[in-house]
Structure 1
Amino acid sequence: MPDVRIAHTAELDAATLKAVRALLYDVFDDMTAEDWEHALGGLHALVHEGGEVIGHASVVQRRLLHGGRALRCGYVEGVGVRADRRGRGHGAAMMDTLERVVHNGYDLGALGASDEAASFYAARGWQLWRGHSWALTPYGIRRTADEDGCIYVLPTAAATLDLDTDLTCDWRDGDVW
């Protein structure tokens, strides 16, 4: 089983942050500066091998609106493993760690999944959000139809969810989901 280190962004030194950023830019062809920023400010699950960061995932706090409530959400960002180290359980080990954080600290977990990763999350108990997605923008609540079918949630005992209704995320620059 891979050894996962968990640390808050504030506890990571500049060299580690630089290595994580380089890893994520290597893993994701379309990674942006906003995507990198989205992965910061929360807890990071890191896997090292031979002194190098080979895996990263983070969970940051967001607010999601559902059923007339603002729910405290552990939003998972920047899940990636170096290409030559995939298929060895690193992603699962990082998600085990972050899912414990979600279950013990948030009303629900959420993430935006790529087509390639959707089956990985579904097999772990993450559920596809079937309702419409929205964002609370500076101009009011706006529909985010392009995100429908990509949002997965991890329910906890803290909130009752209806996966077939609307879900609204808080505002952030770049991709809101």
Structure 2
Amino acid sequence: MIIREAEPHDWPAIYPFFREIVAAGHSYAYPADLSLEEARPWWMESPPGHTVVAVDGSTVLGSAKMGPNRPGRGAHVATASFMVDPRCSGRGVGRALGEYVVDWARANGYRSIQFNAVVETNEAAVRLWRSLGFEVLATVPEAFDHPEHGLVGLHVMFLDLNGPVPPSTSRA
């Protein structure tokens, strides 16, 4: 597996799992009925943002988008979003993308990373982000309408990039 910058020709390979993950309603509050072209600007970032794909040969396994959390006076804090093709879960794709984002943010001079809306019932994501050194700063109660659990909280998660680098438990 390698992680590389996403190219325009990658979007048709990302979109099927983007659509599937959004439609499942477990982790993203994006509109569920976005077409291929409507969904593109929701995921494919323009500078200073950056979108990458994790690939195995020509197969796109997952993708991440990253950039400043806010413009102007908030641009020193990064944010990111991640999607792994459900057929590729358990292969370390999410961890590799997470590690890539942390390294990218450090290399680009960000002071921290803030995830604005991690669904509290998304236990695999919360566990992964905690293992990479993120902490839950707050949980906004009942901020996400989960299809099975009803109204659940959204975690605001944070990683200080000026602190010690947590040891990697695996490099995919």
Report the Cα distance in structure 1 between the residues aligned to 2:138 and 2:71, rounded to whole angstroms: 15
Equivalent-residue separation in structure 2 for 1:118 and 1:149 (angstroms): 11
Per the alignment, residue 5 of structure 2 pairs with 6
The Cα of 1:21 is off from its aligned counterpart by: 2.4
Q: Which amino acid aligns with 2:77?
A: C
User: Where does residue 156 of structure 1 map in the other structure?
Assistant: 161
Q: Which amino acid aligns with 1:107?
A: R
Tell me, which stretches of 5 or more residues in structure 1 are unaligned? 134-143, 159-177
**Pairing 1:1-177 to 2, within 5 Å after superposition:** 2-7=1-6, 12-13=7-8, 15-29=9-23, 30=25, 31-32=30-31, 33=34, 37-39=41-43, 40-41=45-46, 42-63=49-70, 70=74, 72-77=76-81, 79-105=82-108, 106-111=110-115, 112-114=117-119, 115-116=121-122, 117-130=125-138, 146=143, 149-157=154-162
Tell whether the 8 Å contact from 1:23 to 1:53 is kept in structure 2 after alignment.
no
**1:65-110: CA deviation from partner (whole Å, max 9, x where unpaired):** 9xxx745221102x11111211111111111111111123212111
Taking a change above 3 Å as real, the CA distance of residues 50 and 104 of structure 1, as seen in their structure-2 partners, is closer
Q: Which runs of 4+ in 1 moved over 6 A?
A: none
Secondary structure at 1:129 match in 2: strand
CA RMSD of aligned residues (A): 3.0
Listed one character per residue, the Cα deviations across residues 149-172 of structure 1 (whole Å, up to 9, x for unaligned) are 5111111229xxxxxxxxxxxxxx
Identity of aligned residues (%): 15
- Length, aligned pairs only: 137
Q: Deviations over 1:122-174 (max 9, x none)?
A: 1211111138x7xxxxxxxxxx983765111111229xxxxxxxxxxxxxxxx
Query: How does the TM-score come out when normalised to structure 1?
Result: 0.64
* Normalised TM-score (structure 2): 0.65
Is the contact between residue 11 and residue 40 of structure 2 (CA under 8 Å) also seen in structure 1?
Answer: no
